[in-house]
């Protein structure tokens, strides 16, 4: 439904569906996949329209590497490879979400609703684009499955891989690391928690360290983010100001919906606490939300960046599972239609980066 809506809105705005699938950050991932960090086209610039030699390093290498592998197939270019990787990762993610939902809700209905609600999330359109969210969310979800099921090898491997995809992997590292530490202190599961504790930070630490060497600065990656995209932690001051201003003055539909989604995410976090969600899921969602809403930068990317906080949707899935089937279906359909419109609108009618 998301792709169908994007197709219709692309046509209505005289734009190409193919171009929209590889838009904005997708252009960076495709360039890195096709030419490596050193061969990115010189026309590619940061959020301020500037280009420095280290600018491409803002984009983690895991997703471009997967694109390169798929693009080795005959007749497959990097854009097709990127979309294929995202779609396959989406299937793996759906199964992980289903397992989490079944485990917490006690039946398949919660699992299926959890998958449907996530697929209907505002900005879920990026799960079908040349963006890294689908891969990262899949790896993070399976790492959490590993923690919940005490499969420490799975948790460690998935967490290490997630660290090569996005800096948000810090949330996964924190949860897997703490869970493994608790298992070690309580002398449970033998050597496996030790493996998870050592493997979890490997991917993220490796790339952050490599960028530090390339830039000659220990905090090189974070300096790069701040210079190029004004992405620095300010405790939520900028996000709060954006929400208050947006809801108090005339603005576009995109900005208004963005502000309300930010408010809704905080409410959902409170519901997760009241539902006494297992601490690994709660901690992961809270850290993702803190990293997103607590940082300055592009306000228009806030909804996309909170996609990994998928445990926030569990209380809604569990609540709908207790209602009549007609109520659950009607609610899901409305959310799918809304999420599909919002994602397509953000890529066609909205003129700025997401």
73-96: per-residue pLDDT in tens? 998 999 999 999 999 999 999 999
> 219-247, pLDDT tens digit by residue?
899 999 888 887 888 899 999 999 999 99
Look at residue 48 and tell me whether its pLDDT is greater than 90. Answer: no
Longest dimension (CA), the chain: 62
Percent of the chain with pLDDT over 70: 100
Q: What is the DSSP string of 91-159?
A: HHHHHHHHHHHHHHHSSHHHHHHHHHHHHTSTTGGGGGTT-SHHHHHHHHHHHHHHHHTT-HHHHHHHH
Q: What is the DSSP letter of 54?
A: T
Under 8 Å between Cβ of 98 and 112: yes
**165 sits in which H/E element:** none
Task: Report whether pLDDT(50) > 90.
Answer: no
Position 127 pLDDT exceeds 90: yes
At 232 the pLDDT is: 81
Give the Cα separation of 297 and 241 in Å (integer).
12
pTM recorded for the entire structure: 0.95
205, exposed or middle or buried, with CB in 10 Å at 0-12, 13-18, 19+? Answer: middle
What pLDDT score does 52 carry?
87
With tokens 């692309």, the residue in question is 10
Tokens 């280009």 label which residue?
51
Tell me the pLDDT tens digit for each residue of 249-262. 998 999 999 999 99
């Amino acid at each position: 439904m998301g792709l169908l809506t994007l197709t219709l809105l692309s046509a209505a705005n005289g734009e190409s569906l193919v171009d929209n699938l590889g838009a904005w950050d997708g252009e960076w991932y495709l360039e890195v996949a096709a030419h490596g960090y050193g061969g990115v086209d010189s026309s590619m610039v940061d959020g301020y329209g500037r280009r420095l030699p280290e600018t491409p390093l803002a984009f983690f290498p895991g997703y471009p590497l997967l694109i390169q592998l798929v693009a080795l197939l005959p007749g497959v270019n990097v854009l097709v490879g990127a979309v294929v990787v995202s779609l396959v990762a989406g299937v793996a993610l759906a199964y992980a979400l289903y397992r989490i939902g079944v485990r917490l809700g006690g039946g398949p209905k919660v699992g299926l609703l959890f998958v449907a609600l996530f697929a209907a999330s505002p900005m879920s359109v990026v799960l079908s684009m040349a963006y890294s969210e689908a891969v990262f969310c899949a790896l993070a979800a399976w790492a959490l499955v590993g923690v919940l099921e005490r499969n420490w090898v799975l948790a460690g491997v998935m967490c290490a891989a997630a660290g090569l995809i996005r800096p948000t992997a810090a949330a996964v590292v924190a949860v897997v690391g703490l869970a493994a530490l608790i298992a070690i202190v309580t002398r449970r599961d033998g050597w496996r928690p030790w493996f998870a504790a050592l493997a979890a930070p490997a991917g993220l630490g490796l790339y952050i360290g490599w960028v530090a060497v390339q830039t000659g600065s220990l905090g090189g990656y974070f300096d790069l983010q701040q210079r190029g995209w004004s992405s620095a932690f300010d405790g939520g001051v900028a996000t709060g100001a954006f929400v208050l201003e947006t809801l108090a003055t005339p603005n576009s539909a995109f900005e208004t919906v963005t502000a309300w989604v930010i408010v809704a995410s905080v409410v959902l976090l409170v519901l997760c606490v009241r539902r006494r969600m297992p601490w690994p899921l709660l901690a992961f969602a809270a850290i993702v939300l803190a990293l997103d809403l607590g940082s300055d930068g592009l306000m228009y990317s806030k909804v996309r960046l909170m996609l990994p906080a998928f445990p926030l949707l569990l209380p809604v899935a569990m609540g709908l599972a207790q209602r009549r089937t007609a109520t659950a279906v009607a609610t899901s359909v409305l959310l799918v239609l809304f999420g599909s419109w919002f994602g397509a609108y953000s890529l066609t009618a909205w003129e700025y980066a997401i």
